[in-house]
Structure 1
Amino acid sequence: MIRRLLHYADPRARRLLLAELACIVVVAILQGIAFLLLVPVLRALFDGDTTAAGNRLGVLAVVGGVYAVAFWCAGQIGMRASTALLDSLLTRLGDRLVELPVAWFGADRSGMIAGIATQGAMFVSTTPYSFLRHVLTGFITPATVLAGMYVLDWRLAVAMTVMVPVMAVGYRWVRRAIARGDAAHSEAVAQASNRVIEFARAQPVLRTAGDDSIAHRLVDESLRNQHRVYRGMLATGGAGIAAFAAIVQLSLTVLLVVGAYLAIGGSVDPATLIALLVLGARFNEPIVAAGDLSGGISVARTTLDQLDALSAVRGLPEPATPRKPADWSIRFDDVTFGYDGAPVLERLSFTAPAGRMTAIVGPSGSGKTTITKLVARFYDPESGTVSIGGVPVPELGTAVVEGAVAPVFQDVYLFDDTILNNVWIGNPGLGRDAVVAAATRARVDEIADRLPGGWDARVGEGGSNLSGGERQRVSIARALLKEAPIVLLDEATAALDIGNEIAVGEVVEQLRADRTLVVVAHRLQTIMTADQIVMLDGAGGIRESGTRGAAAGLEVRTP
């Protein structure tokens, strides 16, 4: 656990964690020494030697004072370490999410990520002080006591040592049982979170389905499953902790039996026996506390396992030295690609010339959107080559491709922010006037004029305050602002009213003036203006392709 915490800590958090751990070790050892000092104090009291008892109490008070200072230092450093570790965990999570290939986000993992970023990261950051401190103390303090008991009476020390392996096995079993239960619970929570988020986002559609809809049932089932798993985790963890406490108490029973036997035999005087039995009780107390808190460490370990899984996700290969494209043409050469199953594209070859508009048409499921995702390097093809400017995309690297390509998809997501800021993210380095100018070219100014607040009007979560066509205009304005040489429009005019379709069509004409434009479309009006048309056959290949006249049935050629 300590090694894994240090792995995810930045340099500052690592220094604070090591300082905190050092203080915890010192505090635990001092506590053990204080327990050992009780033996000579009790011996002196039983012997009636008040002077010796007073002197030894003075030593005990000095050790207690040093312990109090070390404990206070551990607390102060622990709070700073928790804050630094939380910051480090969230930073590492954010950096890793940015590095992950876009394809990884195809599955709904919002619940898992939200769990890590909120409760998971917070729990892990507080683990060193809230749980690990007590667990370390629960073993270091008894180890110090045990070492001292070998000096005081080796026979009772051996009796306590015999039980150490039994307690170690019991502690490990408790920890693993709780870890298994928490892993199952964490997965159930993530699934329930996914369903609740999905349910909230889809309310406009679900309102027509009635209370007995499949969405309601799925949410109810996921929540019931979460409660069931949680009850199982509590039952397993509670039983394990109780069993471990019984094992620890058994060690005290062994110590009592051995001590009584030695006292009856006369080899241990009653005063020493009572003092050592008190020491034995203090030996067990921290171990029981460590067992009770072992579940907290197991819960933290679940979050660290999730972070490990994120770290293990393989990204797309990146070149050591990215190449530069000769131009902004796009070429598919014998490309095959599928989504964990039958190929969507199979041995597909075509070229989208630089500075021209290429329209991709075909039946649903023929791979039109897949083509745009391969150009944007959401994925790499299984075989064949996707090239930009004559350079295979993997040799350009993701950063070059992201800078060169501006995708505009049918499902547009806007942040719960102002209209202007939602456009601004297309190129945060520009000034406000440049952003407004680009947005005006996409006719977003008409939206701003309609809403109270103008450019500073908030669009709502996901752009819920705007219509589908208006969201498309904002998305296209981002592409204009980015000034990327390649623009991908995936069904940009699908399901738009005539007014928004005309507005988007005008923007498309602006884009094609100096960019390589790839448009996925169904409507003839969009296809008619294309310089080239590629018609997919629905079996992974191309049925026909041709020049601008192909839309009217002219100049069609079969590849």
Structure 2
Amino acid sequence: MFGANFQRKYALTDQGVQNTKKGTFWTVIVNLVVMGGVGILYLVMSGLMETLAGGVLPVALPVLAGLVIFAFLSFLTHLQQYKATYGLVYGEVKATRLRLAERLRKLPLGFFGKRDLADLTETLMGDVNRMEHVWSHVLGYLYGSYISTAVIAVCLLWYDWRLALACLWGVPVAFGLLFGSRKLTERQAEQIKRAAVRVSDGMQEALENVREIRATNQEERYLAGLYRKIDDHERIMIRGELVTGLFVNGASVIMRLGVATTILVGAGLILSGQIDFMLLFLFLMVITRIYAPFDQSLALIAELFVSQVSADRMNALFDTPIAEGAEVFQPQGHDIVFDHVEFAYDKEAVLHDVSFTAKEGEITALVGPSGSGKSTCARLAARLWDITGGTIKVGGVDIATVDPEVLLTDYSMVFQDVVLFDDTVMENIRLGRRGASDAEVMAAARAANCEEFVSKLPQGYQTPIGENGAKLSGGERQRISIARALLKNAPIVLLDEATASLDVENETKVQGALSRLLAGKTVLVIAHRMRTVAGADHIVVLKDGKVAQQGSPQALMAEGGLFRHMVELQSESAQWQLSGARP
């Protein structure tokens, strides 16, 4: 019952399976204890009828003792059931979210290009929340009810099979109705989930682009679209709840018909003298309890069907292949060699037979038109994505055989799209090397020319900078990124137009800091401005995902071709200037 298929079906950890077993066991005990209370009541009523018929008053002490024992057992078993269901689930939720986070941490970057943030957030929060309710309220109760009811049904059949069938016939019919509606319920749940993701995506997009929306006077149009998504979500949810409610309540009505059939069959058996009234009374009391867990089970089964969508989404993350490799990286030097590299992004070819070498101690620049594959090469060099053909080696070691986290200890990266955290300036820079002292962090900040703006912040280095550095300018954010790289001081440096967001004065200062950072290292630079690569040792010109030219700047200028054409175009654009309107 609780095998590997069960574990996968409900996205449980190994401990979660054990918790479900405990919850099921104590639910069975609770249901049997409660049913035992019905038995005690039956015995009391039988004794009362006999003593009254004999004209003797019943002794109250044994009855009182039995009730006290029942109350104690009921409290004890309910407490254990609570601990085994609700009490253990919070640890399971924590473990599951950590498992998902760990999985996301190890997934290749290409995965995140196919999934938007709202969808992943919905999985981490919404899907786990739904499964939390299933783990705590559904699994233990449902499977416990199955087992305890089977035990009780056997006892009822032993007492009188005719009354037992009259009492229980509606149960399989009711569950059959629910299971028959499973595909429809799951389809409704999928539609609800997709609608919820669209709403989350719309809200996130609105918050991220609020300045652009206001600047283009698109508030009304954008909000109207967001309202439509919310209304669609509400309409789909209502329809889904209606469909589920119809089947659940319909099943409950069918099951409750067992009360009527029990009374009818029991009355007939009494009239024919085959049973006495007390046996019918016993079955009527049992019905009041045996239907209670089933009433809950009907709703729980419907929730299980709905939750399957969330479990499938979580399992899809767990099933996505992660980037793995050796935990040891011992290259012979740090030359980066691209050997006939191929790369396709979402089945669309991006790089074709790319070969070049970025030598240690030299600056290798990647240039070319937009979309030529420059940034892709830089990310492949750090195994942020995995290639689809060829090999990339660092110091003779194929990076596809090395764990990405181990590999990245030898890399410093300064990309144009800077990522900062909602923390202080100090801690954002310290990400470059955890454990670095405050003095080391501030030295790296000074080298990256951060001191100028940090000194003006209210709390200096301890000033929170907001989500993704929202309180800083683009140039300030870029300098923090450069300070990180300086602090890390790795042997390989990847630069993606690192000074693009700086003004002329600060660009000159930061270039001095970069010169200190790059000394003696393997440097791969992505450049759009030709003057940036004038001092490069080797230039690789990319076009349409292929190497069009490569060599020193002087050799490429003499050779002509695309590189020289790009240099000449930028020289012409440098002469362009604004001119006022003339009458």
Task: Give a deviation string over 1:170-207, Cα, whole Å, max 9, x none.
Answer: 34346665444333322322232122112211222222
Amino acid at match of 1:38: L
Q: How does 1:96-495 map to 2 (within 5 A)?
A: 96-136=103-143, 138-173=145-180, 177-211=184-218, 215-216=222-223, 218-319=225-326, 322=328, 324-495=330-501
Deviations 1:3-50 (A, max 9, x none): 439974475x66655444432221122122223343333334444366
Structure 2 CA distance, aligned partners of 1:115 and 1:343?
A: 30
Q: 1:185 to 1:221 in 2, by over 3 A?
A: same
Matched residue type, 1:258: V
**Paired AA for residue 436 in structure 1:** M
Structure 2's unaligned 5+ residue stretches are 564-583
Note closer, same or farther for the CA distance 1:396–1:270 as it changes in structure 2 (3 Å cut): closer
Distance 1:185 1:487 in 2: 46
Contact 1:150/1:157, CA 8 A, preserved across alignment: yes
Tell me which amino acid in the other structure corresponds to 1:226: H
**Equivalent in the alignment of 2:43:** 40
* In 2: Cα distance, 1:58 partner to 1:36 partner: 15
CA distance, structure 2, for counterparts of residue 254 and residue 483 of structure 1: 82
Task: Show CA shifts across 1:384-415 (max 9, x none).
Answer: 11111122211233233211222222111211
**Is residue 546 of structure 1 aligned with residue 525 of structure 2?**
no
Give distance in 2, aligned partners of 1:490 and 1:445.
23
Residues 402 and 108 (structure 1), Cα distance of their counterparts in 2 relative to 1, 3 Å cut = same
Q: Distance in 1 between matches of 2:313 and 2:89?
A: 19
Greater CA deviation, 192-201 or 112-121? 112-121
- Structure 1 residues 413, 534: CA separation in 2 closer, same or farther (over 3 Å shift)? same
Of residues 70, 81, 89 in structure 2, which corresponds to 1:74?
81
Q: 2:581 matched to which residue of 1? A: none
Compare 162-171 and 89-98 and name the one that shifted more: 162-171
Shift in Å at residue 426 of structure 1?
1.3
Alignment of 1:30 with 2:33, yes or no, is yes
Q: Tell me how far apart the structure 1 counterparts of residues 532 and 221 of structure 2 sit (CA, whole Å).
A: 37
**Cα deviation, residue 260, structure 1:** 2.8
Distance 2:262 2:529 in 1: 87
Question: Contact 1:359–1:518 at 8 Å: present in 2 too?
Answer: yes
Aligned-partner residue type, residue 547 of structure 2: I
Question: Residues of 2 paired with 1:490 and 1:38: CA distance?
Answer: 80
- Tell me by how many angstroms 1:309 deviates: 1.3
**Distance of 2:171 and 2:237 partners within structure 1:** 32
CA 1:385–1:498: 2 relative to 1, 3 Å: same
User: Secondary structure at 1:51's aligned position in 2?
Assistant: coil
CA distance in 1: counterparts of 2:59 and 2:143, whole angstroms: 33
Q: CA contact under 8 A between 1:359 and 1:534: conserved in structure 2? A: yes
Q: 3-state DSSP class of the match of 1:328?
A: coil
Q: 1:444 to 1:110 in 2, by over 3 A?
A: same
The CA RMSD over aligned residues, in Å, is: 2.9
2: CA distance, partners of 1:144 / 1:59? 23
Q: Is the 8 A contact 2:11 2:315 kept in 1?
A: no
Larger mean Cα displacement after TM superposition, 164-173 or 147-156: 164-173
Q: 1:221 to 1:390 in 2, by over 3 A?
A: farther
The aligned residue for residue 499 of structure 1 is 505
Secondary structure at the counterpart of residue 308 of structure 1: helix
Q: Cα deviations across residues 440-490 of structure 1 (Å, max 9, x unaligned)?
A: 111111220232211112211111111111111111111122222111111
After TM superposition, the score normalised by the length of structure 2 is: 0.87
Deviation at 1:434, TM superposition (A): 0.9
Quote the Cα distance in structure 2 between the aligned partners of 1:324 and 1:212: 55
Aligned residue type for 2:416: Q
Q: Distance in 2 between matches of 1:213 and 1:511?
A: 49
Q: CA deviation at 1:295?
A: 4.0
The residue type equivalent to 2:538 in the other structure is Q
Q: Hey, what's the Cα distance between the residues in 1 that align with 2:253 and 2:183?
A: 18
Q: How far apart, CA to CA, are the structure 1 residues paired with 2:510 and 2:220? A: 36
Secondary structure, counterpart of 2:352 in structure 1:
strand
**Structure 1 pair 235/267, CA: closer, same or farther in 2 (3 Å)?**
same
**Distance 1:285-1:17 versus aligned 2 partners, 3 A rule:** closer
2:416 touches 2:478 (CA, 8 Å); kept in 1?
Answer: yes
**1:96-125: CA deviation from partner (whole Å, max 9, x where unpaired):** 221222221123432233334434434434
Amino acid in the other structure paired with 2:461: W
Unaligned runs of 5+ in 1: none
Write the distance in 2 (CA, Å) between the matches of 1:175 and 1:134. 20
Cα distance change of structure 1 residues 465 and 108 upon mapping to structure 2, 3 Å threshold: farther
Identity of aligned residues (%): 30
Deviations 1:299-339 (A, max 9, x none): 554433322111100123524x7552211111111111121
Relative to structure 1, the CA distance from residue 154 to residue 294 in structure 2 (aligned partners, 3 Å threshold; closer, same or farther) is: same
Q: Which amino acid aligns with 1:540?
A: G
Contact persistence 1:328–1:486 (CA under 8 A)? yes
- Select between 539-548 and 119-128 the one with higher mean Cα deviation: 119-128
Structure 1 segment 53-92 matched on structure 2, within 5 A = 55=62, 58-59=65-66, 61-92=68-99
Query: Which amino acid in 1 is paired with 2:25?
Result: A
1:513 match? 519
Q: State the distance in 1 between where 2:559 and 2:551 align.
A: 6
Alpha-carbon contact 1:29-1:140 (below 8 Å) kept: no
**C-alpha distance in structure 2 between counterparts of 1:416 and 1:323, whole Å:** 32
CA distance in 2, matches of 1:53, 1:265: 35
TM-score using structure 1 length: 0.90
**Structure 1 residues 246 and 16: alpha-carbon distance in aligned structure 2, compared to 1, 3 A threshold:** closer
| CA shift in 2, pair 1:74/1:300, >3 Å | same
1:137–1:286 Cα contact (<8 Å) kept:
no
More displaced, 129-138 or 229-238? 129-138
**Cα gap change, 1:216 to 1:411, in 2 (>3 Å):** farther
Instruction: Tell me the CA shift for residue 142 of structure 1.
Output: 3.3
Cα distance between partner residues in 2 of 1:157 and 1:213: 65
SS at 1:450 equivalent? coil
CA contact (8 A) 2:27 2:145 kept: no
SS of alignment partner, residue 70 of structure 2: helix
Q: How many residue pairs were aligned? A: 555
Query: Per the alignment, do residues 162 and 268 of structure 1 end up closer, same or farther by CA in structure 2, a change over 3 Å counting?
Result: same
Cα separation, 2, equivalents of 1:398 and 1:446: 35
Hey, what's the Cα distance between the residues in 2 that align with 1:129 and 1:396? 40
d(CA) in 2 for partners of 1:364 and 1:271? 88
Which is worse superposed, 401-410 or 207-216?
207-216
